Structure 1
Amino acid sequence: MLKKLAFALVAVALSLSAAPARAALLIYNGISNAYILTLVEGIELAGAFTLAEETTVTQVEGFVFPIHSTGTFTIKLTESRGLTPGDTLFSGEAEATTRTPAFRGLSGLNWVLGPGTYWVTFSVKPGQTFSGGMPGPSNSLEHEAFKSNFTGQNWVNSDGRLGIGVRIYDNLPDPIAVPEPATWALVLSGFGAAGVALRRRRAAVASAR
């Protein structure tokens, strides 16, 4: 019984110092209704961002408007070739399930990126069904680019002209919670009670001998 009580008190003490992860907004450039960029099969839209340190990306979203049809589309994170995207590092299929303009994308990710510049891209691949656009952002990302059949599927830089709204999250540890004095008093009194009980038990055993 005493061992169980001791283990329980240790578990409580450890739980007080635990630091669970939380989602933190890493990149966000707002949204605007100034224009809407077409996002249909054959078109890919992209924006660049820079990280100062190693980061684990947990969620990537773009502000999309399924004007013609809801459905799936592709989100990628790529290396940078300066003013245009480079090779793909990570990718996934996202889905817009309603015709309402909203941030939609990928969550539950574990995409680890080192310090440097990267691109996030949005496209509709063959077999995917999204058809609509991406309203422009309030603020431009570091660089912007697009490619389509009209560009021969080659990336074209569009800084200051064609931007997209993006949200990217990473995981940060919560600050270690400092327990209230009453909480610590409860834990310490529990340890004290366990110690007193243990001494009494040892005394009873000794007298019995």
Structure 2
Amino acid sequence: MKFLPVALAATLSIAAPAQAATIVDTGTPPDASWGLSLGPEQSLAGRFSLSSATTLTDVQGYIKSYSNSATLTIAINRGGSVPGGVLYSGAVALAQGASFQGLGNLNWVLDAGDYWVSFANSGSGMMPGGAPNPLSKAAYWKSSQGWKGLYDPSRSMGVRISGVAAAVPEPATWAMMIVGFAMVGAAGRSRRKVAVAG
């Protein structure tokens, strides 16, 4: 049956993945000469919320690195008043100077809720402050002190997060998918009957 591939392709195209969209964009801090230290003994984090299940595809922080061969580790932590356990993490080599740097081509699946994005630097650097659209909360950490709050929006770091929200099919879409799968099933049954008869 020639309509089997067509029916299958049409059915699968209904559930085709959406394009990544910006979830968080604090904007670029206007001045890279001051901010929050980000060195080997420190981590910085900011809290963000998701209104629906989302797959994160890109996570970046505005970093000013002074080191030649430093590594930036980015993690997504559970929500709460301070960052909780790490859900996902990855590392990337840092370039010197001030720019947005981070991870791409991710497939980090999160449910709706509150999360923290955290940044750790193996070398010497900082995250410039004063991002124009600050996150609701920010925190910093030193290994001997645990997480401490920094809620002054003027000290907010630059963060960009992109992702794809989980699509919830409309009733009409569900109906089309069911009809498509029924057509695929019917084509498969008729092929088996022809094979048995032959």
TM-score by length of 1: 0.67
Query: How many correspondences in the alignment?
Result: 161
Q: Is the 8 A contact 2:77 2:87 kept in 1?
A: yes
Compute the displacement of 1:172 (Å).
5.4
Deviation digits for residues 106-158 of structure 1, max 9, x if unmatched?
1111111111110000012xxx4x32111122222011100115xx2311111
| Match of residue 22, structure 2, among 22, 25, 29 | 25
Deviation digits for residues 144-180 of structure 1, max 9, x if unmatched?
100115xx23111110153211000102599xxxxxx
Question: In structure 1, how many angstroms separate the alpha carbons of the residues matched to 2:166 and 2:75?
Answer: 26
The one-letter code of the counterpart of 1:87 is: G
Query: More displaced, 68-77 or 54-63?
Result: 68-77
Compute the displacement of 1:22 (Å).
1.9
Unaligned runs of 5+ in 2: 168-198
What is residue 92 of structure 1 aligned with on the other side? 90
What is residue 56 of structure 1 aligned with on the other side? 55
Question: In structure 1, how many angstroms separate the alpha carbons of the residues matched to 2:164 and 2:69?
Answer: 30
Instruction: Report 1:39-118 matches (<5 A).
Output: 39-82=38-81, 84-96=82-94, 98-118=95-115
Q: Is the 8 A contact 2:57 2:162 kept in 1?
A: yes
Question: In structure 2, how many angstroms separate the alpha carbons of the residues matched to 1:31 and 1:51?
Answer: 22
Query: Does 2:137 correspond to 1:140?
Result: no
Q: Is the 8 A contact 1:22 1:173 kept in 2?
A: no
Distance 1:69 1:33, change over 3 A: farther
Question: In structure 1, how many angstroms separate the alpha carbons of the residues matched to 2:113 and 2:166?
Answer: 22
Distance 1:42 1:107, change over 3 A: same
Compute the displacement of 1:68 (Å).
3.7
Question: In structure 2, how many angstroms separate the alpha carbons of the residues matched to 1:21 and 1:58?
Answer: 12
The one-letter code of the counterpart of 2:157 is: I
What is residue 151 of structure 2 aligned with on the other side? 159
Q: Is the 8 A contact 1:70 1:131 kept in 2?
A: no
Compute the displacement of 1:70 (Å).
4.3
Query: Does 2:112 correspond to 1:120?
Result: no
The one-letter code of the counterpart of 1:154 is: G
Aligned-partner SS, 1:155:
strand
Larger Rg: 1
How large is the RMSD of aligned CA atoms in angstroms? 2.7
Q: Is the 8 A contact 2:54 2:165 kept in 1?
A: no
The one-letter code of the counterpart of 1:168 is: I
Deviation digits for residues 33-57 of structure 1, max 9, x if unmatched?
3432211100110100011111111
Unaligned runs of 5+ in 1: 175-209
Distance 1:116 1:10, change over 3 A: closer
Moved over 4 A (4+): 17-20
The one-letter code of the counterpart of 1:45 is: L
